[in-house]
A = this chain, B = another copy of it.
């Protein structure tokens, strides 16, 4: 619980109204109770501002005039809300120590302030930094390193030779450092290219549940500082992702693709191998990136959704585009030429 005045102080914001008002949690405008803090982000929910029962609302000064009640004034209410969420998260970090069921190789180094959950396994040569939390049944392979205050949720698997920076979050079932998909065609079938590189992950990186980041073939797969990756994402071997880029759910990056800094890939985007995307590129959902992008901007592919019946007609015509183009070109001929060529089509 915080008072409005305390929150204003911690968030570095001005407030209007009763500084002693107790606020016990965060809630959206439509459901907030009088002891809860809410926020107004953009115009979408402006209509809810009138009716909300929220005890206080984070909003911009210009929106504050429409509010009858206590306010926290922020130039960027969404960012202020993010910081408030940090204050209201309930649970304390788990206490330091190694749970009875964990298996730590004598050749591993585990900081005394780390928390190692039951069933976790840490192999020889691994280094677990200060205040690191390894959830239940997490695996950390040989010679891998986790920096200060990085948290790994239950079941995640970190192979050998993976270096993860400070203040990272790795969610459940993520796999960091599995073999890249490298095979050469031999006379009797595929022959495996053993993946001898590792993975290097910067500081402040978040990696979602069920996401996989493959180790490099000869050099390392690299993820820059502050990168955020959602669930169910595949990052192929030798990829490099620049600082602060955001990769939404279900994206797939084929091997050796390079993503610049400050890029955003919406959900389900696919990137083919060996292409390079420059900094500050946005790719819309389910786009297939089939070539390098050298100019910042927004990129897309795909077709719009329609009722299936109507879509089928367009889809059939898509297959006929080449002939439509030829028919169009024929019509553009002068009438005489058209008549002469009329037997051809």
Q: CB within 8 Å of B: which residues of A?
A: 25-28, 31, 76, 78-79, 81-83, 85-86, 88-91, 99-101, 103, 117-119, 121, 135-137, 139, 141-142, 153-155, 157, 159-160, 169, 171-173, 175, 178-179, 181-186, 188-196, 204, 206, 208-212, 214, 217-219, 225-226, 228, 230-232, 234, 236, 243-244, 246, 248-250, 252, 254, 266-268, 270, 272, 282, 284-291, 297-322, 324-325, 327-328, 331-332
Contacts and interface: CB of A to CB of B under 8 A. Distances in A.
Contacts of A282: 308
Given A270-B267, A311-B301, A212 B214 contact: no
29 contacts: A81-B184, A86-B192, A118-B121, A119-B137, A135-B139, A137-B137, A137-B139, A141-B154, A173-B212, A183-B246, A188-B226, A190-B228, A190-B246, A192-B206, A209-B214, A210-B210, A210-B211, A252-B267, A268-B288, A270-B286, A300-B311, A303-B318, A313-B321, A314-B318, A314-B320, A317-B325, A321-B321, A324-B324, A331-B331
A155 B239 CA distance: 24
Contacts of A328: 324, 327-328, 331
A319 B144 CA distance: 47
A28 to B, nearest CB: 6
A231 B239 CA distance: 15
Contact of A194 (B78, B89, B214): B89
How many identical chains are in the complex? 3
B246 A267 contact: no
A320 B268 CA distance: 25
Contacts of A318: 303-304, 314, 318, 321
Contacts of A159: 153, 172
A82 to B, nearest CB: 4
A93 to B, nearest CB: 13
A321 B314 contact: yes
A287 B144 CA distance: 37
A234 B209 CA distance: 9
- A173, A188, A236: which has the most chain B beta carbons within 10 Å? A173
Contacts of A186: 79, 82
Contact of A252 (B28, B217, B250): B250
Contacts of A83: 191
Given A119-B137, A270-B267, A189 B300 contact: no
